[in-house]
Amino acid sequence: MEEDQQSFLKWAGELGVSDSTSTDQLQDPLSCLGHSLCVSHFPQAGGRGLCAVRDLRKGELILRVPKSALLTSQSVMNDKKLSVAVNKHPSLSSTQILTVCLLYEMGKGKKSKWHPYLIHLPRTYDILATFGEFEKQALQVDDARWVTENAVLKAQLNWKEANALIEDLKLKPQFLTFRAWLWATATISSRTLHIPWDEAGCLCPVGDLFNYAAPGKELVGIEDGESCLPNHPSHVTSSSDRGDMAIVDVKQFDPPFHRLTDGGFEETIDAYCFYARENYRTGEQVLLCYGTYTNLELLEHYGFLLDENPNNKVFIPLGAPVYSSSSWPKQSLYIHHNGKPSYALLSALRLSATPQNKRRSVGHLAYSGSQLSADNENFVMKFLSKKCSDLLKNLPTSIEEDIVLLSAMDSQDLSSLLELRKVLSYADEICNFMEANNLRDGEGDTDLEISRKTKKYMDRWRLAVEWRIKYKQVLVDCILYCTEVINSLSKILQ
């Protein structure tokens, strides 16, 4: 184990962090872990993470982090200089304050109580707010570009607003830059856990080493509207406004017999407690569910996406007549990860394909999820299939091309990327990448070395390409779904 990590785990143990199952179990003075968990590396599933050192049972307590170990705005505020300065800026949001607190704590270096924790934080992040113009364009889809642009603008605005406080604190020059602000923003977005007393959440040493697993079947259907009425908000808090590791609306979903959350702050013992969300065998990665996220939301808040994401959704532009044909909210009209239209989307399309003067009489059927007629269903499927194929046609590259591009990126060999420039559809994208990285064009590029900065750039580019592949795959699957329905209807319509 690397020396730094060892001293981090020892430090955490001294603060009372523990993975032992009961309070009277003897703790190793050299590490807070070892009874249930250890730090390990999972290259295909989040990198550094936590691994079971024994078989764990679902629901078992596996980690406790006492309140005094949590880095929160409140816990750093006993620094007089910080608290006086923060109090002079009451208009800042709790997240802006926590971001400043994190930079301030970083500025203290070894004098910070959390120094052993802070030096373990990632140095760079890939959340959407860190995307430049090139990566934004590489997403190809307007909605995703818009979300990216918004994330960047929001980060810039938050920084500008917090600048007066940052200046009051006289932070060292390296903490005054927008780059530093973005780093702190990304740390908070991707690592904070929900706490009841501060909307910004907390940074939780060791507890923030759990990588993510999407919620399983327990939530599927609830969000889809199958149990919701139009205009009734879904019960699930998708945490999409802020990316803390908070999960679902605990009040709704954590009745004593049905624990859907696998972590939470427990007032009775004044500690953050984590429970195994399923049975784990020794050596398996132990995962935490941070919430219900689409791939775009995962990218926005955490800087990664899932290959298999049961909560992925694709929103497509449907046109005003569809949006106004029913009372379904726009955010319920989407295509599922497997290509199936959402319950609300089907219902809205069925209504919009019904003459206006007949909608009232068939409304109850449409809202309850029934087909209205074979002709209506046929029309709806053709309409949806055409929307999807038009969208695919208008994107600059096909899935097949994206997959070739991805494998050229994986080879980490610039010469294979340069080769792809000869294929027309890639030419612009690859030239823009070269330009953005000041990579010179020319013969003999086979020896081009990839610098760390270029590699980082390529990581984000890869994320954008992976995202658009998943997006396109959903559209392709939706066309397949529509075709199947059309084929089965054709027998009835003959």
Ligand X SMILES: C[S@@+](CC[C@H](N)C(=O)[O-])C[C@H]1O[C@@H](n2cnc3c(N)ncnc32)[C@H](O)[C@@H]1O
Among 31, 190, 347, 397, binds ligand X (CB under 6 A): 190
**Could you say whether residue 332 binds ligand X (CB under 6 A)?**
no
Nearer to ligand X, 366 or 463 (CB): 463
User: Interacting stretch for ligand X, rule CB under 6 A, among 129-137, 299-307, 349-357, 447-455?
Assistant: 299-307
Pairing of strands 335-336, 313-314: antiparallel
Residue 155: both structure tokens together: 């980060």
Indicate if the alpha-carbon torsion angle 74, 76, 81, 82 is positive or negative: negative
Among 13, 20, 36, 49, binds ligand X (CB under 6 A): 49
Nearer to ligand X, 379 or 457 (CB): 457
Nearer to ligand X, 247 or 351 (CB): 247
Among 6, 23, 25, 47, binds ligand X (CB under 6 A): 47
Task: Report the length, in residues, of the chain.
Answer: 494
Pairing of strands 211-212, 285-288: parallel
**Could you say whether residue 207 binds ligand X (CB under 6 A)?**
no
CB-CB contact of 272 with 265 (8 Å): yes
User: Interacting stretch for ligand X, rule CB under 6 A, among 42-50, 162-170, 266-274, 442-450?
Assistant: 42-50
**Could you say whether residue 303 binds ligand X (CB under 6 A)?**
yes
**Could you say whether residue 302 binds ligand X (CB under 6 A)?**
yes
Residues numbered 211 to 240 that lie near ligand X (CB under 6 A) are 211-212
**Could you say whether residue 45 binds ligand X (CB under 6 A)?**
yes
Among 13, 46, 201, 205, binds ligand X (CB under 6 A): 46
Nearer to ligand X, 214 or 430 (CB): 214
Distance in Å, CB of 342 to ligand X, minimum: 24
**In whole angstroms, what separates CA 185 from the centre of its chain?**
14
- Integer Cα distance of 17 and 33 in angstroms: 8
Count how many Cα atoms sit within 13 Å of the Cα of residue 263 in the half-sphere of its side chain.
30
**Could you say whether residue 201 binds ligand X (CB under 6 A)?**
no
CA distances from 198 to 146, 191, 254, 437 (A): 29, 15, 20, 40
User: Interacting stretch for ligand X, rule CB under 6 A, among 302-310, 363-371, 387-395, 428-436?
Assistant: 302-310
CB-CB contact of 455 with 295 (8 Å): no
Strand segments (E) across 284-412: 285-288, 313-314, 335-336
Nearer to ligand X, 125 or 315 (CB): 125
Distance in Å, CB of 325 to ligand X, minimum: 38
For residue 373, the 8-state DSSP code is -
Nearer to ligand X, 209 or 405 (CB): 209
Rg of the chain over all Cα atoms, to the nearest angstrom: 25
- Integer Cα distance of 55 and 52 in angstroms: 7
The H or E element containing residue 322 is helix 320-324
- Integer Cα distance of 196 and 219 in angstroms: 23
CB-CB contact of 107 with 172 (8 Å): yes
User: Interacting stretch for ligand X, rule CB under 6 A, among 194-202, 301-309, 369-377, 468-476?
Assistant: 301-309
Nearer to ligand X, 209 or 409 (CB): 209
Distance in Å, CB of 133 to ligand X, minimum: 22
- Integer Cα distance of 461 and 481 in angstroms: 30
Distance in Å, CB of 169 to ligand X, minimum: 26
**Could you say whether residue 113 binds ligand X (CB under 6 A)?**
no
- Residues within the interface to ligand X (CB under 6 A): 45-49, 122, 190-191, 208-209, 211-212, 302-304
